[in-house]
Amino acid sequence: MGAEDPSTAFFGRASRLLQFLASAALLAVVVSACSIRPSAAGSNLQPADFYAANPSLADVRTLLGDSNWWPGPPSFGVPPLDTAYTPFNEKFHVITRFSHLGTAETFNIEYALWSSTSAATAQMTSIQSAFGTSASGAKVGDQALYYGSKTAGAAPFGTVTFVRVGQIVTTITMALKDAFPTVAQLGRIASKINSRLKDVLSGKVHSSPLPVTDELLLPPKGPDLTLLGSAVLPIEAVVVMLGFESPEALARILHTSGVDSIVFGDYALDVDTHMEVRAGVFNFTIANDAVTWVDELRGTHQADPNGIATFYNEGSGEYFSLFTSGTKAAILVCRSTSDAEAASRACEAPISRIAPAWVLSLSGN
């Protein structure tokens, strides 16, 4: 943000937002504890509709001015995921993530559907009470709030924009390494994101269900997982999800091997719904390429007699289970819903059961 921008002083003194993301999540829990009748507008929306509302990768790169922004995996905040930490009046939310290659910069969009316009408005009021006066920015939707804070880390310039449209609150967070964006830029980003949401609400944009043939590739139904949402993602999203050191080279290898996309499922771990389980299957042209890929991923971790490698990654704090089935490679990741926490040991027994059942299921597809 340039020195002439009056919002610089606002962002600089917003020390109470040092933990704005965590605070925003806590606010949601505090806002409502009573039942409010849902309004008609938006009440028929499904999580897949919010995922369809996301701006395209091309739009994100244009808005942020760099082609090195890559998509990450979405999270479908649908019951029973994290029910103990979800406010009574939030019906569900969907988070989409983007990462800036070569930096620690991030750009996330969360759409939350509240039970009524009154509940969504109360959420915005609580945000203002906690964070103070919003920076003066573009009017977007029914209500827009702009905040920022300089934090620790390799991307210390953090901003959060809240936009309410009826009973929907969209939270847009950015963490940048060099400087704050201008409030005008935040307004442009919010306007673009809100325009896509309006297209969904008006029926111009529709979500597409996962084809049945792709559904059959995901882990079979059982007592350990509850499916929250699914999608076909570009292979770059899996590269970002796994945090490889050479993402561009790895993506290029995958494309060369005939892998352009991954069938992705997002799950709640039934024994501990604070844990999120991500499952992905991708199909190589040649079976040997699938084996090579999994061998690279598991590193020194040994596979069991069924060819399944299951291990805990100290760096990411996540549990992994990897295997191949013919030309298909499968990945199972168990993680905390909070990026600040490591996965609990509740992941261990379920993924040790899910992976073998999944091997059998894939062998028939």
- Can you spell out the DSSP letters for 126-147? HHHHHH-SPP-----SSEEEEE
Q: Name the β-bridge partners of 102.
A: none
Range list of β-strands (E), the chain: 69-71, 75-77, 90-100, 106-114, 143-150, 157-165, 168-176, 225-234, 261-269, 275-283, 309-313, 318-325, 328-336
- Which pTM was predicted? 0.88
The predicted pLDDT at position 31 comes to 36
Q: Which domains does the chain have, with CATH numbers?
A: 7-202 (3.40.1000), 212-363 (3.40.1000)
pLDDT by residue, tens only, the chain of 365 residues: 333 343 443 443 333 343 444 444 434 433 333 333 333 445 689 999 999 999 999 999 999 999 999 999 999 999 999 999 899 999 999 999 999 999 999 999 999 999 999 999 999 999 999 999 999 999 999 999 999 999 889 999 999 999 999 999 999 999 999 999 999 999 999 999 999 999 999 999 988 889 999 999 999 999 999 999 999 999 889 888 887 667 887 788 888 888 999 999 999 999 999 999 999 999 999 999 999 888 888 888 999 998 999 999 998 899 999 999 999 999 999 999 998 899 999 999 999 999 999 999 998 77
Contact (Cβ atoms closer than 8 angstroms) between residue 2 and residue 109: no
Contact (Cβ atoms closer than 8 angstroms) between residue 321 and residue 335: no
Q: Who contacts 300 (Cβ-Cβ below 8 Å, separation ≥6)?
A: none
**Number of residues in the chain:** 365
Q: What is the strand order of the sheet 225-234 is part of?
A: 225-234, 261-269, 275-283, 328-336, 318-325, 309-313
CA distances from 240 to 34, 101, 128, 213, 248 (A): 39, 9, 33, 25, 10
Q: Measured between alpha carbons, how far is 148 from 135 in angstroms, rounded to an integer?
A: 9
Place of tokens 């999944």: 358
Q: Who contacts 312 (Cβ-Cβ below 8 Å, separation ≥6)?
A: 318, 319, 320, 343
Number of H helices, E strands in the chain: 11, 13
Range list of β-strands (E), 82-217: 90-100, 106-114, 143-150, 157-165, 168-176
The predicted pLDDT at position 29 comes to 36
Contact (Cβ atoms closer than 8 angstroms) between residue 235 and residue 282: yes
The predicted pLDDT at position 26 comes to 38
